[in-house]
Amino acid sequence: MNKLLKIGGRALLGATVCGFSYFAPVSAMDDMAAFREAITMPAKNNTNAYILRESINFYVPVGHAKLEFIAQTKNDSARMSGALDVLLNDEEGGTLTEKIPFYIDQNKKDMTIYYKMGKQWEKFNAPSLAAVLADVIATPTSSDIEKEIAFVKDVKVLRESDTQRTMFVRLDSDKVADAIREYSEANPADKGTADDKEIQGTFMKWLDTGVRKADIWYMWTVDKTNWQTITQSLDLTGVVRETAKAAMDDKSAQWSPQAEELLSFVAYYSDMKEYTVFLKQEAEKKLELPKEAKKAKLVEDMIADKPTKIGSLR
């Protein structure tokens, strides 16, 4: 489970609609210009300090998982507090539930991740994840912004008022897949063992196929008075389904009947979406390290995590 948490943390490090007001129509030729304005203005205003609530929801016929947390970024540091909730149903009508609270404290190149398994709080240090997060929260350069714009296939401004703008943004799946592959090659499996490399290589092959076949899009609402994000929602259903199909179609993979059934659920019936809502500064009080976590046991075998030089995913 420790290793899954670590891999999940690396994978996680990344996007809903709002508003009642008077909406003026926006012509199609202005949509990309409106998106460019929305994405460049925060950097000009240096608005990289914020508090948000993130919720990632994954549903299959036999259950669901929800990762939810509040996060604060300020300059090159960040704090996160939340929990992973899992619910699974069996064929006999029973239900298994699991809740894993966690807290993450990141300051420049240092990161400590606290989590509670059962009654025990544990923690481990993750400098390479700190490097990833520091890159994500850093104020983007003009080059970073242009790279992010290059991922966009098309934009449609859905609502426009004097104070808000809501956009539907579709990404270029091939360019996203290329960026993921480049990042994976620059950041190999943590321990560097043969098994780790083989597992990561196989999964990345499935993911590459899944991303290229998927329709990837997100909704984005910005506050035009300060160019800060109000809400975002990223639809990952296509990526998850197509990745599962790629795994099922892999002739070299050997699946048990139970695993194949689960993959079929994911491939044809799953749903995965991410929601982000930006909060007021008063939400900062929700980000204190739980008292019982201060005595967390240090997990020694996670210390081997070493910093790696990464490229930008913007």
Spans of the chain, pLDDT less than 70: 1-29, 43-49, 128, 130-139, 187-196, 300-314
Q: What is the pLDDT of residues 177-192, one digit of tens each?
A: 999 888 877 766 555 5
Q: What is the pLDDT of residue 161?
A: 94
168 in a structural domain: yes
81 in a structural domain: yes
58 in a structural domain: yes
Q: What is the pLDDT of residue 57?
A: 97
Q: What is the pLDDT of residue 150?
A: 93
Q: What is the count of structural domains for the chain? A: 1
103 in a structural domain: yes
Q: What is the pLDDT of residue 68?
A: 96
Q: What is the pLDDT of residue 139?
A: 67
Q: What is the pLDDT of residue 9?
A: 43
> Model pTM?
0.77
Report which residue type is found at 29.
M
195 in a structural domain: yes
91 in a structural domain: yes
Q: What is the pLDDT of residue 271?
A: 97
CB contact set of 107 (below 8 Å; sequence gap of 6+): 76, 77, 130
Q: What is the pLDDT of residue 121?
A: 95
How would you classify the pairing of strands 297-298 and 120-125? parallel
Q: What is the pLDDT of residue 2?
A: 43
Report which residue type is found at 181.
R
60 burial (CB, 10 Å; 0-12 / 13-18 / 19+) is buried
- The encoded tokens of residue 139 equal 């104020």
The boundaries of the domain holding residue 204 are: 2-15+19-297
Contact at 8 Å (CB) between 120 and 286?
no
311 in a structural domain: no
310 in a structural domain: no
